[in-house]
Structure 1
Amino acid sequence: MKKLGHLNRDIARVLASMGHTDSLVIADCGLPIPEGVECIDVSLALNVPGFFDVLDSVLADFKVERAVFASESAEHNAAVVERIAQMASSKIEVEQVPHETFKQRSREAKAIIRTGECSPYANVILHSGVIF
């Protein structure tokens, strides 16, 4: 049995397949899943697992170069705004775009991890960095 990193075989597979600048979305339960983009649905119930639980787990096992958030989170989700600031201070480039632009960009992701999160604009596009 796998001891370190992700136990979810689909998340582990996607993370292992990521190349430099490839993107992965971590989404709340309401974000539309574009046709043709793999959806790894880990939702169990409302807010389970939460967005930050999944984000923290992925960040522990994935080299992120850039993160994209919906700019609407500034008005509607203080916890996401706080995480944006933390990521920016940890040398991850952070970009904020309108939610409609975010949804369009999610079409380019290798996969979307759908959480049970129910707070507004709790979504991020993570772009892969390199470990060397």
Structure 2
Amino acid sequence: MKKTRLLNSELSYLVATLGHTDEITIGDAGLPIPEGVERIDLALTHGVPGFIQTVEVLLSESQIEGVIIAEETKQVSPELHSQLLEVIKKDSESTGKETNVTYVSHEEFKVRSFDSKAIVRTGECTPYANVIFQTGVTF
């Protein structure tokens, strides 16, 4: 059995196959997922698993260099936005690598997510609980 935090086999496989600059989206329960993009559906019920919890586990297993967030998140869900930035900051500090955060409109975010290697659906029901991670390298 794995010793690390990430136990979901689909998500573990995805992380193992990511290359430099690949993108992965983690979304709330309502984020549209288009045909042709891999869907990893973790949602069990409202709020389970949570968005921040899913982000923390994913970051414990993968290196990121960029983050894309919908601009609307700051106004509509400020508490979640602050939590997300704190998790990203902690990850950046623990790896010693800078993480670039970019904001786009929610419409641009949805279009951009279509190019993700996969979209991970959580049970989160907080509006705009979505993020795109651009993978980095560990060396």
Work out whether the TM-score is over 0.5.
Answer: yes
Per-residue CA distance 1:90-118 (angstroms, 9 max, x = gap):
33110110000000000110101100000
1:46 match: 46
2:82 match: 82
In the TM superposition, what is the alpha-carbon distance from 1:85 to its structure 2 partner? Answer: 3.6
SS at match of 1:10: helix
Per-residue CA distance 1:71-99 (angstroms, 9 max, x = gap):
00111011232135432573311011000
SS at match of 2:79: helix
CA distance in 1, matches of 2:13, 2:61: 12
SS at match of 2:109: helix
Identity across the alignment (%): 44
Q: How many residues align?
A: 132
- Give unmatched runs, 5+ long, in structure 1: none
Aligned-CA RMSD value: 1.3
Is contact 2:69–2:109 with CA below 8 Å preserved after alignment? yes
Structure 1's consecutive aligned runs of 4 or more residues displaced over 6 angstroms after TM superposition are none
2:22 match: 22
Counterpart of 2:111 in structure 1: which amino acid? Q
In the TM superposition, what is the alpha-carbon distance from 1:58 to its structure 2 partner? Answer: 0.3
- Give unmatched runs, 5+ long, in structure 2: 93-97
Is contact 2:42–2:122 with CA below 8 Å preserved after alignment? yes
Matches within 5 A, 1:91-110: 91-110=98-117
Is contact 2:52–2:84 with CA below 8 Å preserved after alignment? no
2:124 match: 117
2:135 match: 128
Cα 1:44–1:105 shift into 2, 3 Å: same
TM-score (norm 2): 0.90
Is contact 1:65–1:92 with CA below 8 Å preserved after alignment? yes
In the TM superposition, what is the alpha-carbon distance from 1:12 to its structure 2 partner? Answer: 0.6
